[in-house]
Structures are given as C-alpha cells and as structure tokens.
Structure 1
Amino acid sequence: MKKIILGIALVSLTLFSCTEKKDKKTSNKITLTAIEKGKKLFNSNTCNTCHKEQVKVIGPALKDIAAKYKIEEGNIVTFLQGKSKPIVDTKPGQTAIMQANLSITKPMKVENLKAISEYIMSIE
C-alpha cells in the first residue's frame, strides 16, 4: 500500500513539474513575440527615422526613453495616444516634432501600441 501511495505521489509530482515548465516557456514565447511585433510596428511606421536603439538622432535613443520611463514609471502607450505629456527630451522644438508624429500612433490599436511599448522597454 505504501508503494502505491509513493508511486502516485511521484507521478503527480512529475506531472506538476512538467506543466509548470511548459507555462514558463509559453510566457517567454508570448513576451518575445510582443517585442518582435513591436519592433516591426516601430520600424514600419517610420519611428526609426528619428529614434535609434542606442544613439540619439533626431529624437532620443530608445535606451534613453526606456530608462526614463522606468525611472518615472511612465506609460508609453498613453503618450503615444496623445493622452500624456512627454517625459524625455522636453525641449519645445523636440516636443513639437513628436506631437506632429503622434498622428501616426493615435489611431493605432491599443494592442499594437502595447507591443511598441514592450519593444522600447526591452532596450537597455
């Protein structure tokens, strides 16, 4: 009887362990997919004309945007919707350029804006 209970316990433990690992892999795959989708949207909507990952071109580098939004606990999605003020490079000339470009992001679906945000926030 003890062997049967021990056997059932081992089988249950093994199945539970396998299920947990599978969930972690799925979660990582979803996150990676969101980042890839965000990068694709970022580049296809010409955001990469002014913003590069590591260096400032016209607008701030994505690494600087991500760092500032992490520190300030800002929300990139609400900024891209035009519902919040910029917190990175707030000089009037820079904000005027970006405000004009928000016409591209304002009508986008929230899911796409979240993907762009995930991409930006993934850059260090």
Structure 2
Amino acid sequence: MIKKKYSLILLIFLKLTIIMRKIIFCFAFITSVSFLIFSFAEKKDTLTKVSQTPSIEKGKKLFKKNACTACHQEQIKIVGPTVKDIAAKYKAEKGNLITFFQGKSKPIVDKDAGQIAIMNASLGITKRMKAEDLKAISNYIMSIK
C-alpha cells in the first residue's frame, strides 16, 4: 500500500515537472516572439555614448533587438543563465559562442534538455545573422564580468 502511494506521488510529481517545462518553454517562446515583433517599433536612442569597443555596444543592441533578453539578463537569472554566467563558462572552457550561435557546437553552460530545447528554438534567429553581428554579440557577452 505504501509503495503504491509513493508511486502515485512520484507519478504526479513527474507529470507536474513535464507540465512546468512546457509552460516555461511556451513562455520563453512567446516572449521571444513578442520582443522580436516590438523591437522593430523601438525608438532610436537620442543620446550617443562613447564606446571603447564599438562592436560591444553594437552587440548589446543586437542582443536586445533579437530578444535574447527575454531569457538572459546580465546579472539576474530568468529562464536561461545570466550573461555573466555564460561569459564566465565560455572563458573558463575556452568555448566559442559564435559556433554555438551558428548551431555548429553544443551548449556548454546549460546542458538540461528542457533548456536546450528552448535555446534551439531561439538559435533560428542567430543562424540567419551575419558573422559580423554574431561577433558583436559574442564580444558583448564576453565583456560582462
């Protein structure tokens, strides 16, 4: 009797886990699409900032424009890892963000199947980007400490 009770609890827990992953995936996908749609209506910044490395500033703008911020913030974990954590992991393991963005290498930060599924949906955006833009985004990410 006790075994059946624990089996039922485990089954319920597993089903809830699957449902939560689907909810997180849907939220991330809808948020990404929303950010993409509304980013085209974004007003240009009237203030000009002097940047040490222009591609870092460009990368930050592209990161926001392409809705990466829907899942990744610089210091706060939302759906995916923080930009700071991504930079630290890629620096430590000498990984190449550009090949990851192009779908030519596996993720090294978050290897959870659910997170990978979410990120794979977003990689469709980066796979179509120019190498120069991917380099700018990579420079931006790697500049975060």
Q: How would you bin the TM-score normalised by the shorter chain?
A: 0.7 to 0.9
- Does residue 66 of structure 1 match 2:66? no
Matches within 5 A, 1:1-124: 32-124=53-145
Q: Aligned AA for 1:82?
A: G
**1:55 offset after TM fit, Å?**
1.4
Query: TM (normalized to structure 1)?
Result: 0.75
Query: Which 4+ residue blocks in structure 1 deviate beyond 2 angstroms?
Result: none
* Counterpart secondary structure, 2:78: coil
Secondary structure of 2:79's aligned partner:
coil
Task: Report deviation, 1:80.
Answer: 0.3
Indicate if the aligned counterparts of 2:51 and 2:57 stay in contact, CA closer than 8 A.
no
Structure number with greater Rg is 1
1:32 shift after superposition:
1.7
Partners of 2:52 and 2:127 in 1: how far apart? 23
Aligned length: 96
CA distance in 2, matches of 1:96, 1:88: 14
Q: 1:93 to 1:71 in 2, by over 3 A?
A: same
How far is 1:31 from its partner? Answer: 5.3
In 1, distance between residues paired with 2:52 and 2:109?
A: 25
Higher helix share: 1
Extract unaligned runs of 5+ from structure 2: 1-49
Partner Cα distance (2:80, 2:106) in 1:
15
Q: Give the structure-2-normalised TM-score.
A: 0.64
Q: Which runs of 5+ in 1 are unaligned?
A: 1-28
